[in-house]
Amino acid sequence: MADAQGGRYFDPENLKRWESEKRLPVRHWHQSIAEAYGLSLDQVQRAVAESRRRRREAEKGGETVKRRRFFGTAAVIGMTSLPDMAQARDEIDRALDGTGTDLSHLDTAFQRHHGGYKGRTPAAVLEEMHTDLAVLGDVLSRSHPAQASTALTHTAAGLTGLVAIVQHDRGDQADASRWFATAEKAARKCGDRRMTAWVLARHAMVPLNYGAPQDAARLARQARAEAGKSATAAAALAAAVTARALAAAGDRDGATAALIDLRRITDRLDDAHRADTWTGYPLQKHHVHLSQAYTLLGDTRAAYAAQAAALALTRSASVMTRALLAIDTATCLQLDGEPAEAARTATTAWQQLPPEHRCGLVRSRIEALHRTLPHGPRGQLEEALHG
């Protein structure tokens, strides 16, 4: 299956579910299945349709009656086959657990996806998440015991929050906000205030990065309140986004107070909360936030220091992060009265980006700089943007 997808990641657990008909493959996988098994696309689609028809009949009770008859006969003649016994055990297991292996699979999927881009494009990450989201929707449609339901809802908050982050980075503000709203609903339903704080802080970055700092500040303050007094990654992120939002809104005193709050939190973070993931608050991410906050405050000396610290901690695969830091540097150069050097720095950063990354957040940030440049340097950057 990996070969049929051109070498892209494929979870073998999905294949087991399809072969046992515990789940049916969604349309996204039909062509890959046809290629992997030497079938036509029509054959695969007809097989899925037939399986779906039999499942509907089973839900009406037909298969249940047949299974009862089979076990009754088997008990008389003493010949129950091992495959059917294994299937019976699996069904009992799923009934007892409420979710079978699906919840474990989804939790593993969240752990796999929350590590960030790792050199991949946003579109590639969404493609890899597609099947896991289909599993999530299917599992959520069933009823579960209370404990399993809470764990499932928590995982749903995390996965939908990750989709929202990617949509934010792609520049799809409306869809990002919808996914964040779903993530917040799930986080509140499972009662996890840290997850709620993380979702709200991440959500605040949509209006922050796309020109609505007052809305960003409101969401960031809500996030900070949800995070409480403990030193957590969610609390640190909430404080960082609050500082950036208030700086963007022109509230220098408020932004400075938020930076002091951020420093108090980061000084007490343990290693688990400093994890280099989308849900953690690593030192590199901290300096990236400081770069933006100080740039927005016009404190270029502090901003340059934060940019240097962030770059020293940035892995080579972090294409977007390097570009955003370069744009911060260019903005600081413009603030320091060096518009020609600002335009050169931003142009170089833009030209070094792979085409698939020249959109969304990066484009929004570089266009904001473009609007502040005088005529000559602005033309240089504009030529690069539209070249």
d(CA 372, CA 387): 20
d(CA 24, CA 303): 52
Quick check: 7 pLDDT over 60? no
- What does 298-349 look like in DSSP terms, one character per residue? T-HHHHHHHHHHHHHH--TT-HHHHHHHHHHHHHHHHHTT-HHHHHHHHHHH
d(CA 277, CA 269): 15
Give the model's pLDDT for residue 218: 97
Of 157, 153, 174, 159, the C-alpha closest to 126 is 159
Tell me, what amino acid is at 49?
A
Q: Whole-angstrom distance between the N-terminal and C-terminal Cα of the chain? A: 39
- What does 42-78 look like in DSSP terms, one character per residue? HHHHHHHHHHHHHHHHHHTTHHHHHHHHHHHHHHHHT
Q: Each residue of 279-308: b (16+ CB within 10 Å) or e? A: bbbbebbbbbbbbbbbbbbebbebbbebbe
Beta strands in the chain (DSSP E): none
Of 288, 211, 206, 285, the C-alpha closest to 248 is 211
Contact residues for 55 (Cβ-Cβ < 8 A; gap 6+): 21, 24
pLDDT tens for residues 205-217?
999 999 899 999 9
Give the model's pLDDT for residue 189: 93
Burial of 152 from C-beta contacts in 10 A (0-12 / 13-18 / 19+):
buried
Mean of pLDDT values over 131-153: 83
Tokens of 269: 């973070």
pLDDT band per the 50, 70, 90 thresholds, residue 143: confident
Could you give the percent of the chain with pLDDT greater than 70?
80
Give the model's pLDDT for residue 356: 87
Quick check: 224 pLDDT over 90? yes
Question: Do 334 and 182 contact (CB within 8 A), yes or no?
Answer: no
pLDDT band per the 50, 70, 90 thresholds, residue 307: very high
Quick check: 99 pLDDT over 60? no
Question: Do 297 and 281 contact (CB within 8 A), yes or no?
Answer: no
Question: Do 362 and 325 contact (CB within 8 A), yes or no?
Answer: no
Give the model's pLDDT for residue 8: 54
Indicate the SS3 state at residue 192.
coil
pLDDT tens for residues 59-93?
555 444 444 333 333 333 333 334 444 454 444 34
pLDDT band per the 50, 70, 90 thresholds, residue 20: low
Q: What single DSSP character describes residue 141? A: T
pLDDT band per the 50, 70, 90 thresholds, residue 337: very high
d(CA 42, CA 230): 56
By 3-state DSSP, what share of the chain in percent is helix, strand and coil, each rounded to 5?
Answer: 75, 0, 25
Quick check: 285 pLDDT over 60? yes
Quick check: 5 pLDDT over 90? no
Q: Mean pLDDT, the chain, as a whole number?
A: 84
Q: In the structure, how many helices (H) and strands (E) does the chain have?
A: 19, 0
d(CA 313, CA 326): 15
Question: What sign does the dihedral 92-96-97-102 (CA atoms) show?
Answer: positive
Give the range with max mean pLDDT: 25-29, 108-112, 241-245: 241-245
Q: Domains of the chain: which residue ranges?
A: 1-78, 102-113+120-191, 206-299, 315-387
Quick check: 326 pLDDT over 60? yes
DSSP H or E segment with residue 101: none
Question: Do 102 and 149 contact (CB within 8 A), yes or no?
Answer: no
Could you give the percent of the chain with pLDDT greater than 90?
54
Say which residue, 70 or 115, is predicted with more confidence. 115
Give the model's pLDDT for residue 318: 83
Least confident of 85-89, 137-141, 177-181: 85-89
Mean of pLDDT values over 304-325: 92
d(CA 176, CA 163): 8
Q: What single DSSP character describes residue 121? A: -
Q: What single DSSP character describes residue 176? A: H
Full 3-state SS string of 210-251: CCCHHHHHHHHHHHHHHHCCCCCHHHHHHHHHHHHHHHHCCC
Of 328, 327, 364, 360, the C-alpha closest to 346 is 327
Say which residue, 127 or 12, is predicted with more confidence. 127
Contact residues for 221 (Cβ-Cβ < 8 A; gap 6+): 242
Tokens of 134: 């289909």
Question: Do 180 and 199 contact (CB within 8 A), yes or no?
Answer: yes
Indicate the SS3 state at residue 18.
helix
